[in-house]
Structure 1
Amino acid sequence: MGALMGGGVGLTIGFLFGTWSIIRGGAGPRGFMATLSQYMLSSAATFSFFLAIGSVIRTDPLVAPHLQAAQLQLLAPAMNVRTKAEGFRLMRARWEAERNR
Structure 2
Amino acid sequence: MYEKYQITDNPVTNLNRVMAEIRKEAEQNDLKLKYTKIDFEECLTKPLSEREIKVDLSLLPRFEYRDEFILWLTNFIRNISVQKKFVKQKYYFN
* Structures share fold, TM-score greater than 0.5: no
The structure with the larger Rg is 1
User: In which range does the TM-score fall when normalised by the shorter chain?
Assistant: under 0.3
TM-score (norm 1): 0.25
